[in-house]
Structures are given as structure tokens and as C-alpha cells.
Amino acid sequence: MNKSTSPSASALCAEICIVGNGAIAKTTALGLANAGLQVILLGPAASPASSIPSISPTPAAPDAGWDVRVYALNHTAQRLLASLKVWGALDAARVTPVDAMLVHGDGPRPGGLAFDAYGAHADTLAWILEERNLNQALDAALRFAQNVTVVGGRATGLQRGDEHATVTLADGSSIAAQLVVGADGAESWVRGQCDIGLDYRSYGQRGVVANFACEKPHHGAAHQWFTGEEGIVALLPLAGNQVSLVWSAPEALADTLRAESAQQIADRLAVYAADKLGALTPLQPELVRDFPLRLIRPHTMTAPRVALVGDAAHVVHPMAGHGMNLGFGDVAQLVETLAGREPQRGVGDARVLARYERARKEDVLLMQVTTDGLARLFGAGAEPLRVVRNLGMDLLDKIPALKRRLISHAMGK
């Protein structure tokens, strides 16, 4: 059974120390422990209300409010979570299959694209689930995981040597490990300690998120509107006649949206969604949130004795909903690479880490280039570009073989 230690723990050691407290960090810990490795999961010092041992694994009440932060998980993520016995622990009533994806262009002659599970030869394209649902299932799995020690504390120093790395905590205690995994998000402390250079660009947009009930059934379809000057509007299906909004809005519009009520936002959405979903009604009027949209491209995913996963390794535009899926892809590959290393090589061996980075390079680069290119293309307001991109969507929609190839890659099949 896993052990939970207080921040005052002195010297600890393990094969791997994972720094982070989100879903990617927890999944990394479970995956590596499942591969037989001794793991320490280091996150912020937990309060009694938030520590892993005290989180209830029971499903949310049927009338509990919906998280405004939801994820669209592909088949790669689903397979990984299923292999760790996490998928089956999710509250299934709050997991929604995506059976179709409808992309709408802009202007007087908008183009469009339609993807569906039948055309992709799959049962579903993806699954929408809440952050809370995912974290509850991960916390329940960690509570009973073998080979995992959960430590609460703030890392203040990282020293890397030939044989191991040492993470020093604010209270003076330390953790020694052959490998440190940075799973600590876009502002990764671990990445910063390694002086890994990065390319950074703000998209001048913020993601505005909220949840609504819809008058008409969504039939498991996700909708996305490229609106030009107003950014990208996505409505993702939730259980019942409910949808989750992710509006990639230019900064000025995002400021306006955050100053408005959820009902005013719903009224704005009627321009796009009324004929598809009918009237929208806020589920939790007080819950409207936003987050910055940026491209963060570290120059490497590894350093001596260090591997990066998730947002610590790459941040992309959320238009395709694949930021979290890239992270789960990192976890699956890191587990496979470390489990398959030669017996004489340790988990922090430079050649082993190089294999991990090479294996992830193509998928990560493809998603970075694709999302960045689409954000630039659909953010441009020039009429000739608008015509070309709408024609391009219409043309792609008429080529089933190419559509299947694109959606298969997005699904992680």
C-alpha cells in the first residue's frame, strides 16, 4: 500500500521522483509503479481537505454541479487509464462519449467538416469527462498502489550527479532518485532548474469556460465554430442535454465575456448554436472561468537525470482538445521506454531518456505545428484567407480516406 508522509520527512530515496500534483503526475506515478519501479510522488503540502488519503473515491452526487474544466480524452488516454484500473473507477454517469465532431467555418459562405465514429470505424471518437471525476479515480488508485510514496512539500533545489539526482525541500529534507520526472505544468519548476530553453508565444487569447443546459439534444456531437474576429467557440457534450463551453476568445472579448453574466454569454452563443442546440441555459451562473492560451515549446523533453511530461514538456492551443492527450501519450511512452530498457541500464540512463524523447518527437511536433498553424489561419480576418479556408474544409470533407486518416491520428488509434 502507498504511504503518505508529512513535509517534515527527512531523507527519502526511490528510483523515480515525480514532481507534480495533477492528473498527469498521478498517472505517471501509477504507470511507473505498475511497471515495478519504486516511485515518490512529490506535490504541494496537502491540507486535510485536499490530501490524497482523505479524498473520497465515491462518485459525485447526481445533482452535483459540473466542473467547468473538462477533458476530451482520446483512445490512447483511455487505454492507459484502463490498464491502470482507473478508467473503470470513473463515475461512468458523468463520462460522455463523443460520437461526432462538427466543424463550422465563418463568413457568408461558411465551410464545414463532419467527423463521426461510424466513418472512423470506432465506437466513439473521444470521451468528455470532468477534471474532478478523473482526479477522484486517480486518487483512489494511488491510495492502494504498490511502490508509491506520496510526499507533500515544496521543492527548492535540484542537484544532478552521475549516479542520481537530489530534490531538496523547503523544510531541509531531501529526496534522492535515479530519475526526476517533471509533471508540474506549464510553469514547470523542474524544467526551470534544468535551464531548458523554450519558445514562447502568447496567442493573445484566453479560454473562457462555462457549462449550459441545451434545449435540444446534442446526440453526442461536439461543435466547433471558427468565427474569425471572435475566436473559436467549442461546445462539448456532457451527460444529458448539457454542454461545456470552451471559447478561445481574443483578450478584449475575453475581458468582456468575464464581465458579463453566464446568461449574457448564452445569448451570444445563440448566434452559433441556436439551430443546432436550441436555447442555452447556464447550469451554474456563477461559474465562468478563463485561462491564458499560449504556445510553449521547450527545446528538449529531457536533461541529465530528468524527463518532462505533460504541459511541462509542451503547451499547445486547446482548439483540438489534445493538450491532455499529448500528456497521456508522454506517460505511456515513458512507462514503455523505462520498462523495456536493458537490465544494465538504470532509469536515469542518458541513452534510455534519449529513446523516450525520440519516440515522442513526431507526435508532439505534429500537434504543435497543426494547432499553431490552424490558430494562425483561422485567426486571420482577411477575406481571401477566409474564402480559402472555407473551401479547404469543404474539400477535405469530400475526401473520406483523408478524413479517416486525420481522425484516426487524433483518436490515438
> Please, are residues 397 and 406 in contact by the beta-carbon 8 Å criterion?
no
Alpha-helical segments (H) within 229-312 = 251-259, 262-277
- Residue 115 has a pLDDT of 78
> Please, are residues 305 and 178 in contact by the beta-carbon 8 Å criterion?
yes
For residue 209, the Cα-to-chain-centroid distance in whole angstroms is 15
Closest CA to 280 of 223, 320, 207, 232: 223
- Residue 394 has a pLDDT of 52
Closest CA to 29 of 136, 153, 180: 180
- With H, G, I as helix, E, B as strand and everything else as coil, classify residue 63: coil
For 119, 166, 176, 409, 413, the CA distances from 406, given in Å and listed in that order, are: 12, 43, 43, 5, 11
For 69, 225, 308, 326, the CA distances from 236, given in Å and listed in that order, are: 11, 12, 29, 19
Q: What does the block give as the cell for 357?
A: 524523447
Q: What does the block give as the cell for 247?
A: 471559447
Four-residue CA torsion sign, 289, 323, 406, 121: negative
How many angstroms separate the CA atoms of 178 and 164, rounded? 4
> Please, are residues 405 and 119 in contact by the beta-carbon 8 Å criterion?
no
How many angstroms separate the CA atoms of 22 and 273, rounded? 33
Q: What does the block give as the cell for 40?
A: 515518490
- Residue 4 has a pLDDT of 44
User: 388 Cβ partners below 8 Å, 6+ apart?
Assistant: none
Q: Which residue has the cell 511530461?
A: 309
User: 95 Cβ partners below 8 Å, 6+ apart?
Assistant: 127, 128, 129, 133, 239
pLDDT tens digit at each of 413 positions of the chain: 454 444 334 689 999 999 999 999 999 999 999 999 999 999 987 543 333 333 333 444 445 688 999 999 999 999 999 999 999 999 999 999 999 988 887 655 566 677 788 777 789 999 999 999 999 999 999 999 999 999 999 999 999 999 999 999 999 999 999 999 999 999 999 999 999 999 999 999 999 999 999 999 999 999 999 887 899 999 999 999 999 999 999 999 999 999 999 999 999 999 999 999 999 999 987 789 999 999 999 999 999 999 999 999 999 988 767 889 999 999 999 999 999 999 999 999 999 999 999 999 999 998 888 777 666 666 555 555 555 555 555 555 555 665 566 656 565 66
**Cross-strand bridge partners of residue 129:** 71
- Residue 398 has a pLDDT of 54
How many angstroms separate the CA atoms of 52 and 54, rounded? 6
- Residue 96 has a pLDDT of 96
- Residue 58 has a pLDDT of 42
User: 129 Cβ partners below 8 Å, 6+ apart?
Assistant: 70, 71, 73, 90, 94, 95, 96
Domains of the chain in sequence order: 3-55+134-196+297-372 (3.50.50.60), 70-130+200-293 (3.30.9.10)
Q: Which residue has the cell 483561422?
A: 378
